[in-house]
Amino acid sequence: MLNCRAAFIFVFMLDFEGFIQTQPLWTGDSFGLHQFKMPSVDLSTLKPIPIPENLRLGHRVEHVFAQLITHSKQYDIIAHNLQIQKEKITQGELDFILRDCASRELLHIEVSYKFYILDPTLKIPIQRAMGPNRKDQFFAKMEKTRDRQLPIVFTPNGRQALQKLNIEPEDLIQQCCFLGQLFVPFQQESMDVTPFPKAAIIGYWLGFSAFSKITFKSQSYYMPTKAEWLHAPHYAVNWQSHGEILTSISEHHAQERAPMIWIQTTSGSFQKCFVVWWA
């Protein structure tokens, strides 16, 4: 049994390991955006700072990003979630402003970490990536970042917010850190995932009817909380039978929510999948 301190470190290290192991959705320049390259980090010397449990997954990821950036020693964090306001009404915010410790360059980084299923029935490749509930589409997030979030620094209110840090928007190098776990349809692991890298494929998705079949009955299952979605599956959870997990899935589907499931196969290997309510 792990003691409380060891258990804390184990769980929080899974956040950092999961983040680092996740692939960027592209490298270099694409879609009119430049992908930020994460600095190398030695996790063996990282001392994780507790992350509030009630945060949404996106904000949790920002805390992970911040700790990794700080630990890398390559950048200083000048600002995090810098509010852009007009007459005390928030118009937007800047995720991070970093200073490169060597070059002294200033970087404005927008961070996005998503879980996308790929729907091959859609003809336009970039529109195939979407959240497991068929919302939160990649191309919409990408366009919002490119066309709204990055340009906001050049608005009068954006300039005013930056002036408090003695920064001119023209001095910023704007990039984004877009990471994602991709899930292809069950038994279609060889599908063309263009324009995304194949290395970003983590698992598969399928509907309740397909998941109910005898093929899945001999394996063990765990339904991770959303905070655990970043993690690679591991043994130290309460595994359930196929019948037990079907009940939990049904409860989620009644609310039109597609849960992530970890699968422990009879050979002891692990898989990740989404069981969607709409297929």
In tens, the pLDDT along 32-85 reads 999 999 999 999 999 888 888 788 999 999 999 999 999 999 999 999 999 998
Both tokens of 219, joined, read 């394996």
Whole-prediction pTM value? 0.92
Q: What is the mean pLDDT of residues 6-30?
A: 85
Last residue of some domain: 163, 183, 203?
183
Q: Domain total for the chain?
A: 2
Residue 156 sits in the same domain as residue 218: no
Residue 90 sits in the same domain as residue 139: yes
Task: List 77's β-bridge partners, or say none.
Answer: 98
Evaluate whether residue 189 is within a structural domain: no
DSSP H helices, 73-196, are 138-144, 156-163
Torsion of CA 38, 61, 193, 150, to 10 degrees: -70
Least confident window among 3-17, 117-131, 177-191: 3-17
Using CA atoms, how far apart are residues 169 and 85, in angstroms rounded to an integer? 16
Give residue for tokens 């190098």.
173
Evaluate whether residue 42 is within a structural domain: yes
Using CA atoms, how far apart are residues 144 and 108, in angstroms rounded to an integer? 16
Using CA atoms, how far apart are residues 72 and 51, in angstroms rounded to an integer? 19
| Mean pLDDT of the residues in the chain | 93
Assign 111 a pLDDT band (cuts: 50, 70, 90): very high
Q: Is residue 12 pLDDT above 80, yes or no?
A: no
Residue 58 sits in the same domain as residue 16: yes
Which pLDDT value is given to residue 1?
44
Evaluate whether residue 159 is within a structural domain: yes
Count how many residues are written for the chain: 279
Q: Given 3-state DSSP classes, what are the helix, strand and coil percentages for the chain, each rounded to the nearest 5?
A: 35, 30, 40
First to last CA, the chain: 41
- Provide the 3-class DSSP secondary structure of residue 193: coil
Residue 47 sits in the same domain as residue 162: yes
Looking at this protein, which amino acid is placed at residue 210?
A: A
Q: Is residue 30 pLDDT above 90, yes or no?
A: yes
Assign 210 a pLDDT band (cuts: 50, 70, 90): very high
Residue 64 sits in the same domain as residue 140: yes
Residue 124 sits in the same domain as residue 202: no
Give the percent of the chain with pLDDT over 90. 86
Residue 155 sits in the same domain as residue 265: no
Give residue for tokens 């959870």.
237
Residue 128 sits in the same domain as residue 17: yes
Burial of 129 (C-beta count, 10 Å sphere; 0-12/13-18/19+): buried
Q: Would you say 108 and 97 are in contact if contact means Cβ atoms under 8 Å apart?
A: yes
Last residue of some domain: 124, 155, 183?
183
Residue 95 sits in the same domain as residue 20: yes
Residue 164 sits in the same domain as residue 231: no
Give the percent of the chain with pLDDT over 70. 96
Residue 156 sits in the same domain as residue 48: yes
Both tokens of 52, joined, read 């509030």
Last residue of some domain: 151, 183, 215?
183
Residue 152 sits in the same domain as residue 43: yes
Q: Is residue 2 pLDDT above 60, yes or no?
A: no
pLDDT of 142-161, one tens digit each?
999 999 999 999 999 999 99
| DSSP secondary structure letter of residue 24 | B
Assign 88 a pLDDT band (cuts: 50, 70, 90): confident
Evaluate whether residue 188 is within a structural domain: no
- Provide the 3-class DSSP secondary structure of residue 148: helix
Evaluate whether residue 162 is within a structural domain: yes
Range of the domain at 237: 194-276
Evaluate whether residue 269 is within a structural domain: yes
Instruction: Tell me whether the omega of the peptide bond preceding residue 195 falls within 30 degrees of 0, making it cis.
Output: yes
Looking at this protein, which amino acid is placed at residue 12?
A: F
